[in-house]
Structure 1
Amino acid sequence: MTGILEARPLPASSKAFDLLLAGGLTMFFGFLSLAQERWSGLLGVAMLVPLVWRRTHPEAVFLAVSSVAVLQWLSGSNLMAGNVGLLVALYTISVYGEVRYSRIALGVGGLGVLMATARYYGNSDWRQQITMMVALGALVFGVWAIGERRRTRGLYVAQLEERAAQLERDRDREAALAVSNERTRIAREIHDVVAHGLSIMIVQADGGLYAADASPEQAKKALATIGDTGRASLTEMRKMLGLLKQDEQNELDPNQPRPQPGVSSLPELIDNVRDAGLTVDYQVTGQPRDLPALLGLTAYRIVQEGLTNTLKHAGPGARTSVTLDFGRELLTVVVTDDGRGAGVAPSSDPGHGLVGMRQRASISGGTVNAGPKAGGGYEVIAKLPYNLPDNGSNLPDNSSRLPGNGGGLPTGGVH
């Protein structure tokens, strides 16, 4: 609690206003007090001068003014114009003082009404005494009530301002979080594009180098694949980098969905990997269905990352199998190879690949398990439920699909 003598911070303009108010009241009502009572009029002036500090020390000012009023009562002086300072001090403490001191001040004012009635109207008719008591009591209580109402209204306005400020802070924090999440997603997309494209280009470059002398046609084909892959990757990366520009608001408009690859784009992805020299068996089991945009993109990126890791680590002659199993409640994605990837020492920098796959799957409510297979090779298994978890996130549903994520899958077999 604030101490009774502790000053409140006050702007310079408010201090100047209080100085002018106290000066004006002192000159006008103080002069009238001196005109009424020559020497006792000084008590009226003494009740007006402390009003200079009425808002910085409201409790102390009321204590000082009421003390002078008691001294006036004890000295037998009549009521004078300077007594208006007592009402101003009561109003001020009810507005700016602590609640407990404000109520004490109201009690002091009520006691003053009784004292004034007994002293100044004690010889009057009882009806006149009651009338004056009610009139003075109504005046004191009215001044206090006006101040209390202003205090309540000020607190209400302050709460509204604080709530508005908090809402603005929450809005800015949510906007910053949304931007951060969007940039993280774009970074993951860029990693997928660049890593996959570079893996194919490296394999093709190595193959073309070895075939340059013995099979010029194979070398030309490898170079053509490198060029096509590089151009496609560069185009897709430019699109995603464009999303990072803050001034391109249309690119971030959630009402304009951006085309993303889905499971229907997997045959094209696998053909590109086959052109890079990797043997891939692609199989679809179960009853294919249309998938939500997020789920289709997640499945596509998991397959892409699995094939990229196979190109990097499986070694020459490795065979890869990609299986999509459309179960009753979830889609199972399996990417396996029989290469030497499991025996390669892990890098000190694990990169974003496996972490990205698990993050994607967790957003869709699924899981990813990756590790060496018994008997050699490596295996990635992702289980992705069709129904997204109801966690309050604004994720796409079955009624909001992006282009390229629908059906159109073969119903089974090896391709």
Structure 2
Amino acid sequence: MTGILAARDVPAKSKAFDLLFAGALTMFFGLISLTQEHFGGILGLMMLVPLIWRRTHPEVVFFGVSAVAVLQWLIGTPLQGGNVGLLVALYAISVYGEVRYSRIALAVGGMGVLMATSRYNTSNDWRQQATMMVSLGALVFGVWAFGERRRTRGMYVQQLEERAAQLERDRDREAKLAVSNERTRIAREIHDVVAHGLSIMIVQADGGLYAADASPEQAKKALATIGDTGRASLTEMRKMLGLLKQDAQPNEVDPNQPRPQPGVSSLPELIDNVRQTGLSVDYQVTGTPRDLPALLGLTAYRIVQEGLTNTLKHAGPGARTSVRLDFGREMLTVVVTDDGRGAGLAPGSDPGHGLIGMQQRASISGGTVNAGPKTGGGYEVVATLPYNLPAGGDQ
């Protein structure tokens, strides 16, 4: 009985309409029912007044009105205007009631047709009885079918609304994820800029301090390099930090918005800056160079930058470094090697954010990065980056 007694949530406007509708039926058909003898008027009112709750308690209303109709049949009260409440209650349960009770209501309506035909058709002509039975049956089934159609349509509209709401939630979720991914990318960019810039500045500061007494001109040159590197790094970092505003909305992240993203064409300038620190860098390009997608070019640049930064940190004085780009038929191979003491690092030590960042960048582009000590001394970073980005990759 829990399903029958549970009230539906109905808007206030609908409740007001139900009250007016039931009141109009009661005023019209109820007055007609009052002209009936015996209990006809009372029974008519009992079948019309409950229609006020036909939307909130459709099952209770239908089976209550049906019970009054059965009582009418048992005491032999003739059909009267109040019997229209049966059809209204049947329609209500087929629209607002549970499906199982709606099917039961149809069966009850069919039984009511048989009972009405047997009681109120006094003709002995079977054709008249059949006509009355078919007519009442068609009326009952038509009212029920019309209600079922409205229920189905309402469920379809509700499903469309739920689907639209789900799509909107998915869109918002994807937008937030895009913002999160963008922030992660920018954070990685900032790490690369700061780490590389600071490494150069530290090397130059140490060299300038060493040469301050013996070679003032060399010390001035080191200080100038520190200033230039600091200003360039600060300018690039400010541009990227501008994209990390906390009040930025998801739709403000435009993947087509131009950003300061270097590529392989910027590698000679990067290597020249590193050479000014005193590190010997050999730069080679093999194969046939080609135009690379922005993401792929940026990935190659950052891998070389991180490799040179690690060399400055760990290779030690006098180390020699080699950077090689091999433009193959299907992929670009980036190799950064040195002959310094970096190989002395424990293989199981923490690789740091730089190596993790290189691996993440390469994986986004569908490539791989392998880094570790070389046989015979030194350290090597090898990255393979396919030209064709994986489906769904960030362009």
Residues 335/52 of structure 1: CA separation in 2 closer, same or farther (3 Å cut): same
Return the letter of the residue paired with 1:292.
P
Alignment of 1:74-153 (within 5 A): 74-123=74-123, 125-153=125-153
Aligned to 1:401: none
Q: CA deviation at 1:381?
A: 0.8
Structure 1 segment 53-64 matched on structure 2, within 5 A: 53-64=53-64
User: Distance in 2 between the 1:131 and 1:193 partners?
Assistant: 92
CA contact (8 A) 1:342 1:376 kept: yes
Give aligned-pair identity as a percent: 85
Question: How big is each residue's C-alpha offset from its partner over 1:173-207, in whole Å with a ceiling of 9 and x where there is no partner?
Answer: 11111111111111111111111111101111111
* Rounded Cα–Cα distance in structure 2 between residues aligned with 1:29 and 1:257: 75
Q: Secondary structure at the match of 2:4?
A: coil
Instruction: Specify the code of the residue in structure 2 equivalent to 1:313.
Output: H
Deviation at 1:65, TM superposition (A): 0.8
Q: CA deviation at 1:339?
A: 1.6
Q: TM-score normalised to the size of structure 2?
A: 0.92
SS at match of 1:8: coil
Aligned residue in 1 for 2:377: 376
Q: Which runs of 5+ in 2 are unaligned?
A: none
- Between stretches 192-201 and 121-130, larger displacement belongs to 121-130
Q: Larger helix proportion, structure 1 or 2?
A: 2
Q: Which amino acid aligns with 1:327?
A: G
1:340–1:376 Cα contact (<8 Å) kept: yes
After TM superposition, give the deviation of residue 126 of structure 1 in Å. 4.3
The C-alpha deviation readout for 1:99-147, integer Å capped at 9, x for no partner, is 2221221222122122212211122654443443333223222221221
**Which stretch shows the higher mean deviation, 261-270 or 115-124?**
115-124
Q: Kindly report which structure 2 residues correspond to 1:293-372, keeping only aligned pairs within 5 A, or say none.
A: 293-344=294-345, 351-372=352-373
By how many angstroms is 1:50 displaced?
2.2
Q: Which amino acid aligns with 1:355?
A: I
1:392 is paired with a residue whose SS is coil
Partners of 1:47 and 1:65 within 8 A in 2: yes
The 1:251–1:24 alpha-carbon spacing in structure 2 relative to 1, beyond 3 Å, is closer
SS of the residue corresponding to residue 383 of structure 1 reads strand
2:278 corresponds to which letter in structure 1?
G
Aligned-partner Cα distance in 2 for 1:290–1:303: 18
Q: How many residues align structurally?
A: 394
Structure 1 residues 212 and 203: CA distance shift in structure 2, 3 A: same
Relative to structure 1, is the Cα distance of residues 103 and 256 closer, same or farther in structure 2, using a 3 angstrom cutoff? Answer: same
Deviates more, 1:80-89 or 1:21-30: 21-30
Aligned-pair CA distance for 1:363: 1.2
* Greater relative contact order (Cα < 8 A, sep 6+): 1
- Show the counterpart of 2:185: 185
State the Cα distance separating 1:215 from its structure 2 match: 0.8
Cα-to-partner distance string for 1:323-363 (whole Å, 9 max, x where unaligned): 11222222211111122223246998754211110011111
Taking structure 1 as the reference length, the TM-score comes to 0.88
Shift of 1:247: 5.6
- On the 8 A contact 2:40/2:80 being kept in 1, the answer is no
Alignment CA distance shift 1:310-1:154 (3 Å) = same
1:292 is aligned to 293
Range that drifts further, 272-281 or 51-60:
51-60
- Structure 1 residue 72 corresponds to structure 2 residue 60: no
Q: Which residue of 2 aligns with 1:170?
A: 170
* CA positional deviation for 1:165: 0.3
